[in-house]
Every structure is written in C-alpha cells, then in structure tokens.
Chain A
C-alpha cells in the first residue's frame, strides 16, 4: 500500500458542484500539503498544515478550503467548482524541512 493515498484518482464534476479530495498517510508525518499542477506551472501550493490545529494558506488558496481531521488525514474541498480548477492535484507529507512524499495525484475535470 502507498504511504500517501489520494482519493479519488480521477473525477469529473459539473460547474457549481461541491467536491472533496481526500488524502491519508501512514508515514506519521506532521506536515501535509495540497498542490495543484497545471502544464508549465510546476506545483503551486494551495494549503499546508503543520498539525491538526495549524493550517496555512498557500499561494493559490482562493476557491479552496481544507480540513485536517487527524494527523494522518488532510482533505481539500472545492465549495463551488469552476472550469479553471481543472488540474492535477497532489497531496504530500514531510517531516520538518526534509523531503516531501507525494500521493498518486487526483485528476480533476470541471465541466
């Protein structure tokens, strides 16, 4: 089993719908991240969390919200999906300032 698991792996949703992307990890790391990837733009940080009570906005948090339900779980929500949120989304975890470990990614399409 993967150390960082994202669900769903693929999702097609309609404009205006609420959608949640889930991430769970078995590495025991405190830090968790959500990134969005668009062609030519690398990975852009949406939100990051140091622990259950510490959640921070990244560079592109507008239109997104997150919930850290437990040390191992970090969910990303799109309250009202729009087409320009179509992208590949990655969850990642790390221990302090060391390397990040990534989930398999969620390909989201908003039509």
Chain B
C-alpha cells in the first residue's frame, strides 16, 4: 500500500464548477497535511496546509481532514482555467517523523 494515494485523474470540470480532489494516507499518526499546485515544468507551490480535523477555508479553496478515516481532500470553488494544473497531496510526521511524502498527483483541467 502506498503511503499517500490520490486519484490520478485526469479530472475535468467546467469553468465555475467545484473541483474535488481526494487523498488517503496510510500512517495513522501523521500530523501535517498539505496541498500543493504544480504547473507543468514548475516547482510545487503550497495552496493549503491543515493540521487538525475539520475544514479550513482560504478564498476559493477548502481543505478537509478526517484523521479517523485517514482522508484529506481539497475543494476548489468557482474553478477557473488558471486552476488547471497537477495537485499534489503531501503528508508529514507520524511514525516516519520528518519525512514529507507526496502522492502521485491529480491532473485537473478546467475547461471554459
């Protein structure tokens, strides 16, 4: 079982819709969770970090964490073509203390 798993997609949504990205992780005691956005050939950039159960909202982005289910998600409201990118879920802490592990990424395309 992979430590961090994402739906590889690609995920295609129309402009203005909600895009939902999902991630599961295997280490039950993981402590820190991140969503990064990466444009082709560029470095990953942080969109959201979340450390406790529940929802965290920042503008059009909402991260949701459920530690009991070992599940973290990212919702993008009012999706824009500029949101088209690869979204990477990352998990830190837990039994592999300090090791920041990434999922394989989900490719999102927002079409006009």
Seen from chain A, the residues whose Cβ lies within 8 Å of a Cβ on chain B are 31, 33, 35, 40-45, 48, 50, 56, 58, 88, 90, 92, 94, 96-100, 102-105, 107
Contact = CB atoms under 8 A, between A and B. Distances in A.
A97 B92 contact: yes
B88 interface: yes
Given A41-B104, A45-B101, A45-B102, 7 more contacts: A44-B102, A45-B100, A94-B100, A100-B90, A100-B100, A102-B44, A105-B42
Interface of B: 6, 8, 31-32, 34, 41-46, 49, 88, 90, 92-93, 98-105
A48 B8 contact: no
Main secondary structure of the interface of A (DSSP, over half): strand
Given A42-B88, A102-B43, A104-B43, A97 B103 contact: no
A9 to B, nearest CB: 11
A42 B104 contact: yes
Given A45-B100, A98-B49, A100-B90, A40 B43 contact: no
